[in-house]
Amino acid sequence: MKSNKPQKIIIPCILNILKEYTDEDNTMIQEEIGEKFKEIYGEKIERKTLSRNLRTIIYNFDEVKCTVKDRKGRILSEEEDDAGAIYTDFYYEHMFSKVELQAIVNNIVFAKHISKHHKEDLIRKLESFAPLSTRHDLKSYIRDDRKYEHEYEELFFNLEILDEALAAKEIVKFQYASYKEDMKLHTDERIWYVFPLGIAEKNNDYYLVGLVCGSKKETPEDLLNDVIKLMENYERRSRFLDTFRIDKIRSLKTIDEDKDEMLLSEADKKLAKTMSMKTFKKTWSNIQDYVSQNSSLYPGRNVTAKFKMFNEVEESISEAIDYFGKENVRIEKIKDKDQSNILMFTVDTNDRAMLEFAKTNARNVEVIKPDYLRDELVEIFKTAYERMC
């Protein structure tokens, strides 16, 4: 029986079948497509009509693939042409492979800043990129993160504003929240003016990386001059680089959103013209180094630090690489005072990150450089000793 569906409707129906029921590992031959067509749409499609439409799809839709064989069953290459070729094993090449989709789903499942309801909604949307045969494989245990929902409620709103500010090279203003004795976040009175340079992620938290160009209301000229000077001088810029947990940012605005500070938007426009693309690319490269060398995105400046480790060689190397990153660590064997072999590490890192590593591993770590960090550690351990003894 001939299908009553108009010709222009048949191709979308076949495409839908291929998209919903096939992938590279789950193909369908022509007969199976015909059976599925009847099962879904309640009509039988003639073999010649189906064959003709399948060839039309193959020649016009790059997402649909198949195997082409000659009459003897030999698979033909794309360059070979055979008028009597047999088209079989049809499948739809999806935007994401099953492995890629599962990786995205896993990241969503274990993201603490996304609520359980939002996770379920996102996974349902992602399932549409997979065929029906593999959608059940994407189901994963969703942890109950309701305790985080209130703390992260401003995250996505802030990310949207920061994306716009980054694209437009605009200064942003905001207040910052911190935990108090009641174990709740409280917004500080201080107002920050920051020129955003990028967004980074560490330990499942998002951070704004930017140049701090003021913490109180300034004139447009002051702000503009601050940013330009910082952009031109890397040594000075590195001291003013700072990081902010985006979920702790409150009352975030770009300057031109604030009607009381419309004049500051003129500084933004002038800044965009003043800053050449070459300068911005160089700065962005430096920011990537800053993030790479800052193992926990601590506020502070990047340094090249040297320290000795006295525990087992393999254990020392693993701890240093896991914390600072393989690309930031250099190792050499040296003789200690008692002529025993120990490891000297040279790492590109953030001074606050180095401080935390040394405090955590105080029994086995001796910081050599920078001197100010070594002196600070001596004072910390001295104070701790006096309090506990």
The band of 65, judged by pLDDT with boundaries at 50, 70 and 90, is very high
Across residues 314-338, what is the average pLDDT?
A: 81
Q: How confident is the model at residue 302 (pLDDT cuts 50, 70, 90)?
A: confident
Q: Is the pLDDT of residue 83 over 50?
A: yes
Tell me the pLDDT tens digit for each residue of 145-175.
555 555 566 788 898 899 888 888 788 889 9
Per residue in 265-293, pLDDT (tens digit) is 454 455 544 444 444 445 555 566 666 65
pLDDT, tens digit, 9 for 90 and up, residues 167-189: 887 888 899 888 777 777 788 88
- Residue pair 246/208 in contact (Cβ under 8 Å)? The answer is yes
Q: What is the pLDDT of residue 288?
A: 62
Q: Which CATH class is domain 302-388?
A: alpha beta
Residue 369 reports pLDDT greater than 60: yes
Residue whose C-alpha is closest to residue 193's, from 177, 208, 171: 171
CATH number of this structure's domain 7-92, picked from the four choices 2.60.40, 3.10.105, 1.10.10, 3.30.70: 1.10.10
pLDDT of the residue at 315: 75
CA distance 55 to 103: 34
Say if residue 389's pLDDT is above 60.
yes
Q: Please give the full DSSP string across 174-221, using - where no structure is assigned.
A: EEEEEE-TTSSEEE-S--EEEEEEEEEEETTEEEEEEEEEESS---HH
Angle between helices 220-232 and 277-293 (to 10 degrees): 70
Taking residues 299-315, what's their average pLDDT? 79
pLDDT, position 290: 61
Q: Where are the domains of the chain?
A: 7-92, 98-149, 171-293, 302-388
Q: What is the CA radius of gyration of the chain?
A: 30
Q: Report the amino acid identity of residue 357.
A: F
- Largest CA-CA distance found in the chain, in angstroms, rounded: 95
Q: For residues 306 and 17, what is the distance between their CA atoms, to the nearest angstrom? A: 62
CB of 318 within 8 A of CB of 265? no
Mean pLDDT over residues 40-54, rounded?
A: 91
Amino acid identity of residue 193, one-letter, is Y
Predicted structure pTM score: 0.58
